[in-house]
Amino acid sequence: MTDIFEKYVFEGRVKNIYEGVKVRLKPNRVREGTHTGFPNDGKRPFEDAFEKYADEPYIIREAHGIVDSWLVSEIPFFEDDILVGFPRPERPIYEHFSAGICIEEADERTERLRPLLVPRTSEPMHEEGRRRFGDDTAYRYATERLWWTGGYQGHTVSNYPKLLSMGLDGVMAQIDEYDAKADPFDTKRRDFYRACRIIIDGMSRWIELHADKAALLAAEADGEKKEQLLTIEKTCRKVAHEKPETFLEAAQLMWFYCLWDWVDCIGRFDQYMYPFWRGEEDLDTLAALFMKTWEHGVHNMTISGVVPETGEDATNEITYQVLRIMRTMHETHPRMTVRVHEGTPHELWQLVVLMWSEGMSDPTIASDKNAVEGLCEYGVPLRDARDYSILGCQEIEIPGKSNFGCEDGSINLAKILEFALFNGLDMPVNYKVGLDLGRLTDYKTFDDLWAAYVKEIEYFTPIFCDLCNMGQMKRIANVSKLVKSTMTEACIERGLQHDEGGTIYNFGVVETAGNAAVSDSLYALKTLVYEQKKLTLEEVYEALLCNFEGREDVRRMLLSAPKYGNNDDGADEMAARVLEQFWREIGKYKSIRGDVFTGACSLLEAGIGYGNGTWALPDGRRAGEALGNTIGPRTGSDKNGLTAMLSSVARMPLKLGIGGTTCNVLIPTTMTATEEMRENIISLMKTFSETGGQLAQITTAPLEDMKDAQIHPEAHEDLIVRVGGFSMKFIEFSKETQDEFIKRYA
- DSSP string across 70-88: HHTS-----TT-SS---PP
Distance CA 346, CA 146 (A): 44
Domain count, the chain: 1
CB 482 within 8 A of CB 59: yes
* pLDDT reported for residue 381: 98
* pLDDT reported for residue 644: 95
Q: How far apart are the first and last CA of the chain?
A: 44
- Does a structural domain hold residue 349? yes
Summarised one tens digit per residue, pLDDT across range 532-559 is 999 999 999 999 999 999 999 999 999 9
Query: Which pTM value belongs to this model?
Result: 0.94
Distance CA 557, CA 358 (A): 41
Distance CA 304, CA 363 (A): 12
CB 198 within 8 A of CB 67: yes
For residue 38, give the DSSP letter.
P
Using alpha carbons only, give the angle 509, 578, 684 rounded to the nearest 5 degrees: 80
- Does a structural domain hold residue 663? yes
* Residue 460 Cα to chain centre, angstroms: 25
Nearest of 3, 88, 98, 1 to residue 46 by alpha carbon: 88
Nearest of 420, 414, 598, 403 to residue 511 by alpha carbon: 598
Distance CA 195, CA 202 (A): 10
Helix 317-329 vs helix 283-296: angle between axes, to the nearest 10 degrees?
50
- Does a structural domain hold residue 424? no
- SS3 per-residue string spanning 398-462: CCCCECCCCCCEEEEHHHHHHHHHECCEECCCCEECCCCCCEHHHCCCHHHHHHHHHHHHHHHHH
* pLDDT reported for residue 485: 97
Distance CA 473, CA 125 (A): 9
- Reported as type and span, the H/E element at residue 577 is helix 569-586
Q: What are phi and psi of 662, to 5 degrees?
A: -95, 155
Residue type, 129: G
- 108-113 contact pairs (CB < 8 A, 24+): 109/44, 109/47, 110/47, 113/47, 113/50, 113/51
Distance CA 348, CA 505 (A): 31
For residue 339, give the DSSP letter.
E
Q: CA neighbours within 13 Å on the CB side: how many for 702?
A: 11
E strands, 110-207, are 147-149
- Does a structural domain hold residue 305? yes
CB 8 within 8 A of CB 291: no
CB 314 within 8 A of CB 307: yes
Distance CA 736, CA 533 (A): 37
* pLDDT reported for residue 431: 97
Task: Pick left, alpha or beta for residue 42 (phi over 0 → left; psi -120 to 50 → alpha; otherwise beta).
Answer: left
Residues 6+ apart with CB under 8 A from 189: 182, 183, 495, 496
Q: What are phi and psi of 338, to 5 degrees?
A: -105, 120
Extract the residue ranges of the chain whose pLDDT is less than 70: 1, 152, 715, 717-718, 720, 722-728, 740-746
* pLDDT reported for residue 33: 83
Other Cβ atoms less than 10 A from the Cβ of 657: the count is: 28
- Does a structural domain hold residue 303? yes
Helix (H) and strand (E) counts for the chain?
30, 17
Which is it for the CA torsion 160, 29, 365, 568, positive or negative?
negative
Distance CA 694, CA 583 (A): 16
Other Cβ atoms less than 10 A from the Cβ of 358: the count is: 14
- Does a structural domain hold residue 343? yes
Using alpha carbons only, give the angle 333, 335, 341 rounded to the nearest 5 degrees: 150
Distance CA 427, CA 414 (A): 12
Residues recorded for the chain: 746
Distance CA 397, CA 414 (A): 28
**Domain, as residue range, for 678:** 1-33+262-380+659-746
Q: CA neighbours within 13 Å on the CB side: how many for 195?
A: 30
* pLDDT reported for residue 746: 55
Summarised one tens digit per residue, pLDDT across range 385-415 is 999 999 987 899 999 999 997 789 999 999 9
Task: Pick left, alpha or beta for residue 94 (phi over 0 → left; psi -120 to 50 → alpha; otherwise beta).
Answer: beta
State the Rg of the chain over Cα.
Answer: 26
* pLDDT reported for residue 733: 76
* pLDDT reported for residue 59: 98
Residue type, 172: M
Q: What are phi and psi of 151, to 5 degrees?
A: 100, 155
For residue 730, give the DSSP letter.
G
Buried-exposed string 463-486: b where 16+ CB fall within 10 A, e elsewhere: bbbbbbbbbbbbbbbbbbbbbbbb
What's the CA dihedral at 181, 254, 160, 241 to 10 degrees?
20
